[in-house]
């Protein structure tokens, strides 16, 4: 570790001190850490992998942003907000959506000044594409379909230039709080599992998502819901956790498990269409935008088509992109993934299937990343600002990470200056927390079978009961235990919220309640832990949904 953070080795472990600990090094985490450092805070980044790992680098499509130039002269922030709210199926917080989307152009400008290079068109303007749910050409991209990799490259380069202190391959275990519930430290495991303590007045969670709850996902192995679990255990509330977005098109290979390569929605934006095993198109007649309908609609339509496949292929469909000229140049990442499994997208349809992709809900924050625990902040996929509602609009997540990362750093700076809180001393011998842990493969099987696209009361109850009887109290002494405890807790919260929501809306598809129930359910549910650590639903209705 380098930089202005004091660290010492103690016999029982190690200690460090910082004004702000950022957990995670994706777009939200590094944006926040760099901003906080420039504001004069002593920052420490703690990340489970290397600084360049995590979800951001896998993002393909792009960043949705209204630039107000001649590529899309009729587009506007209001239109982008309207598309976001339409995709969000009645649960977006419109105030948050206006606030985040309105800040998009400035955030993208700052990233470009930091050195990010987006693709240009023949006239030298930024190239734009479309993705599902967007009514205009407003998605900028880099390296064709390697937008996340370019954003991550740029932020890592800036972090290195500024010698941002980063603890790589360290895992955050738990927030330490004072008797009055304010954050005063963070427990961390080093790569060799040595426990450490960072004394700090502010922790910003930017840990990404929870795709590893399911057997097949577009998310990397690191996406185990750690930040959400840590926040719940610290006393924060979460909301909208039942809304897990399944991406309609990850590359299908028989029996594949874990992270599978994404086939970006921008491929459909450039004209590809979904067909079933008999070569029949899937989306016409389902939604006016057909193959470019919002993602929840497309994934659900594929799932329905597979369920009714007449004795034919029933676990994947196909994406016909053979009409796209210059596919390899425009989509080099997808092309390479296809090539690795012997598929040539220029000549044959790509086998695809839906897979867990994005947590639309998360730790409840305001539009500046503040949670309801003093000193605890969240930004990026782990957070629930209200931007995404019941289904995120494509390519709004990198935008949210850029905007909220910066804002959260500014909120920390303002709060620390205002509170004049000294660094409190966490108790010296805090025992390792103990949490219920389920076996990961069994948990992933349960969630995929009973809590994917198409859920019902019986299946959700079965999954909950199996979890109840199969978890084992486990001290969080290893990375695996921390991750499995997080997956177990997040699964319980998700199952509770999904069982309670007796309707279908956005990414939450109930086969026993197929209709949307506007009268009872046009509201978000929040979840927190009761004193014995069980997730319970709060009956409060979160304001501002539209
Ligand atoms: C994609 O490129 O299809 C994924 C982008 C996103 O999830 O927003």
CB atoms within 10 A of CB 351: 21
Which value, in Å, is the radius of gyration of the alpha carbons in the chain?
A: 22
* Atom from ligand 1 closest to the CA of residue 145: 2
Interstrand relation of 216-217 and 258-259 (parallel, antiparallel or unpaired): parallel
Pocket test for ligand 1, best of 262, 292, 319, 402 (most atoms within 8 A of CB): 262
361 closest CA partner among 518, 540, 205, 209 = 209
CA–centroid distance, residue 27 to ligand 1 (Å): 15
CA–centroid distance, residue 355 to ligand 1 (Å): 12
The whole-number average pLDDT for the span 197-209 is 96
Lowest-confidence range among 40-44, 45-49, 311-315, 533-537? 311-315
pLDDT tens string 127-186: 999 999 999 999 999 999 999 999 999 999 999 999 999 999 999 999 999 988 999 999
The strand pairing partners of 196, in sequence order, are: 14, 188
SS3 488: helix
Q: Which residues contact 226 (CB under 8 A, 6 or more apart)?
A: 23, 48, 171, 172, 207, 482, 483, 486
- Per the prediction, the chain carries an average pLDDT of 93
CB 355 within 8 A of CB 247: yes
* Atom from ligand 1 closest to the CA of residue 393: 8
Please give the backbone phi and psi of residue 323, each rounded to the nearest 5 degrees, phi first: -85, -5
The whole-number average pLDDT for the span 345-365 is 97
The whole-number average pLDDT for the span 78-91 is 97
pLDDT tens string 257-278: 999 999 999 999 999 999 999 9
The whole-number average pLDDT for the span 335-356 is 97
In the chain the domains, ranked by start, together with CATH numbers, are 251-354 (3.90.700.10)
The whole-number average pLDDT for the span 84-91 is 96
- Which segments of 75-138 are extended strands (E)? none
Pocket test for ligand 1, best of 61, 266, 274, 402 (most atoms within 8 A of CB): 61
Query: Does residue 449 carry a catalytic annotation?
Result: no
H/E element holding 317?
Answer: strand 317-320
CA–CA dist 142, 156 (Å, integer) = 16
Q: Burial code of 111-127, b = ≥16 C-beta within 10 A, e = fewer?
A: beebebebbeeeeeebb
Q: Which residues contact 494 (CB under 8 A, 6 or more apart)?
A: 213, 241, 242, 244, 447, 451
Ligand 1: list residues with CB < 6 Å. 59-61, 262, 264-266, 358, 394-395, 397
SS3 441: helix
CA–centroid distance, residue 62 to ligand 1 (Å): 7
Token code pair at residue 4: 């202005």
Q: Is the pLDDT of residue 10 over 80?
A: no
One of 153, 259, 268, 295 is an active-site residue; which one?
295
CA–CA dist 416, 434 (Å, integer) = 31
Q: Which residues contact 357 (CB under 8 A, 6 or more apart)?
A: 211, 217, 218, 219, 244, 245, 246, 247, 250, 262, 295
CA–centroid distance, residue 208 to ligand 1 (Å): 14
47 closest CA partner among 25, 14, 17, 18 = 25
CA–CA dist 213, 463 (Å, integer) = 13
pLDDT tens string 307-318: 887 765 689 999
CB atoms within 10 A of CB 516: 15
263 closest CA partner among 328, 319, 344 = 319
């Amino acid at each position: 570790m380098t930089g202005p953070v004091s660290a010492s080795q103690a016999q029982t472990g190690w200690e460090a001190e910082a004004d702000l600990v950022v957990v995670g090094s994706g777009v939200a985490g590094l944006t926040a850490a760099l901003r906080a450092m420039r504001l004069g805070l002593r920052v420490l980044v703690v990340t489970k992998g290397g600084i360049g790992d995590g979800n951001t680098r896998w993002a393909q499509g792009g960043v949705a942003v209204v630039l107000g130039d001649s590529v899309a002269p009729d587009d506007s922030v209001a239109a982008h907000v309207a598309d976001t709210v339409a995709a969000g199926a009645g649960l977006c917080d419109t105030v948050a959506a206006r606030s985040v989307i309105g800040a998009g152009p400035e955030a993208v400008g700052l990233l470009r000044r930091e050195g990010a290079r987006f693709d240009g068109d023949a006239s030298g303007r930024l190239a734009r594409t479309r993705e599902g749910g967007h009514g205009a050409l407003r998605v900028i991209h880099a390296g064709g379909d390697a937008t996340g990799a370019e954003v991550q490259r740029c932020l890592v380069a800036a972090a290195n230039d500024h010698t941002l202190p980063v603890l790589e391959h360290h895992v955050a275990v738990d927030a330490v709080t004072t008797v009055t519930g304010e954050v005063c430290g963070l427990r961390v495991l080093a790569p060799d599992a040595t426990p450490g303590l960072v004394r700090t007045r502010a922790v910003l969670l930017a840990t990404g998502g929870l795709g590893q709850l399911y057997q097949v996902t577009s998310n990397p192995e690191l996406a185990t819901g750690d930040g959400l679990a840590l926040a719940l255990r610290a006393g924060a509330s979460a909301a909208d956790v039942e809304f897990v977005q399944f991406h309609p098109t990850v590359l299908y290979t028989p029996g594949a498990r874990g992270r599978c390569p994404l086939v970006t929605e921008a491929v459909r934006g450039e004209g590809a269409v979904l067909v079933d095993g008999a070569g029949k198109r899937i989306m016409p007649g389902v939604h006016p935008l057909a193959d470019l309908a919002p993602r929840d609609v497309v994934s659900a339509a594929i799932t329905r088509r597979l369920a009714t496949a007449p004795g034919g292929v029933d676990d994947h469909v196909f994406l016909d992109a053979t009409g796209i000229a210059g596919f390899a140049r425009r989509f080099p990442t997808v092309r390479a993934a296809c090539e690795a499994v012997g598929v040539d997208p220029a000549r044959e349809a790509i086998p695809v299937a839906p897979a867990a992709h994005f947590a639309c809900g998360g730790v409840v924050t305001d539009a500046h990343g503040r949670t309801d625990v003093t000193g605890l902040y969240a930004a990026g996929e782990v957070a629930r600002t209200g931007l995404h509602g019941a289904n995120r609009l494509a390519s709004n997540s990198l935008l949210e990470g850029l905007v909220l990362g910066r804002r959260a750093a500014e909120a920390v700076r303002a709060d620390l200056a205002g509170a004049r809180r000294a660094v409190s001393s966490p108790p010296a011998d805090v025992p390792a927390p103990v949490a219920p842990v389920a076996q990961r493969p069994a948990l992933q099987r349960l969630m995929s079978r009973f809590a994917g696209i198409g859920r019902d009361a019986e299946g959700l109850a079965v999954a909950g009961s199996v979890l109840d009887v199969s978890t084992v109290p486990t001290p969080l002494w290893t990375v695996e235990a921390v991750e499995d405890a997080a997956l177990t807790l997040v699964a319980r919260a998700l199952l509770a919220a999904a069982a309670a929501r007796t309707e279908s809306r956005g990414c939450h598809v109930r086969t026993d309640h197929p209709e949307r129930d506007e009268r009872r359910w046009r509201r978000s549910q929040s979840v927190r832990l009761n004193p014995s650590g069980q997730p319970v639903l709060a009956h409060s209705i979160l304001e501002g949904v539209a």
